Amino acid sequence: MGSTRVVIIDKQPFFRAGVKQAFSGLSDFEIVDAGPGDDLTAIIEADLPEVILLDIDAPSLDGLKMGRSLLQRYPATRLVMMSSETNNEELFEAIRIGAAAYLDKKANTQELETIIRRVGRGEYPINDSLLATPTVAEHVLKQFQEMVSMGMSVESITAPLTNRETQILRYVADGNSNKKIAQILEISEQTIKNHVSSILRKLNANDRAHAVVLAIRRGWISVNENQAK
């Protein structure tokens, strides 16, 4: 298995050095760091990292603007946004620019390693961050709906869901397992699995959490809705 190449972009040299030291014993990680005054383009193009760790308050430019620019220029690279003080507004903006994860800089080494490995595999842990707190999901939903009402562009999804698929996705958003949803709707668990597979395929979603986030962005579902059979 090849190494996961990671570039750390942060204005604090002690933070960058700390991350490099923490991962120094992991042979499958290649860590490169960049700070104020460094040529980021040259560094990234020289290493072509799978993952970029980017401070919200990155050097020289606003981190979110820089993150958007990096993803546009290097679409195959996954972006992990880091913040000294995480909050709902930053989470929303990180989701909006397409970040794969949003992480507190106070996270321990194991947490950071886990996030990097998941992101390197193509996962989007940021979806878990959104769904972990229903109030945050509602906040994101409201802002995306406002964007749509103002005519602003939101990620398009080409394949519509059936009424049953939407109903099942609402139950998924509320944290129900396939087995539990089958009991609620009084249909077989295999039927639920078939519907979930169809949902993932239509939305081009990586997993159940990703499908929920995509549907929330479109305003198709909310969380903790009262549901009828």
Residue 73 vs residue 60, higher pLDDT = 73
pLDDT at residue 93, rounded to an integer: 82
Distance of CA 218 to the CA centre of its chain: 16
Mean pLDDT of 163-171: 87
- Domain-wise residue ranges, the chain: 4-131, 134-218
Cα-Cα-Cα-Cα dihedral of 152, 155, 156, 159, to 10°? -150
> Per-residue pLDDT averaged across 103-108, rounded?
91
Query: What is the mean predicted confidence (pLDDT) over 166-189?
Result: 90
Candidates 1.10.3720.10, 3.40.50.1820, 3.40.50.2300, 1.10.1060.10; correct CATH number of 4-131?
Answer: 3.40.50.2300
Looking at the DSSP bridge assignments, the partners of residue 5 are 30
Q: What is the mean pLDDT of residues 31-40?
A: 86
**For position 160, what pLDDT does the model report?**
65
Domains 4-131 and 134-218 share a fold: no
Is the domain spanning 134-218 CATH 1.10.10.10? The answer is yes
Go through 204-217 and write b for each residue having 16 or more CB atoms within 10 A of its CB, e for each that does not.
Answer: ebbebbbbbbbbbb
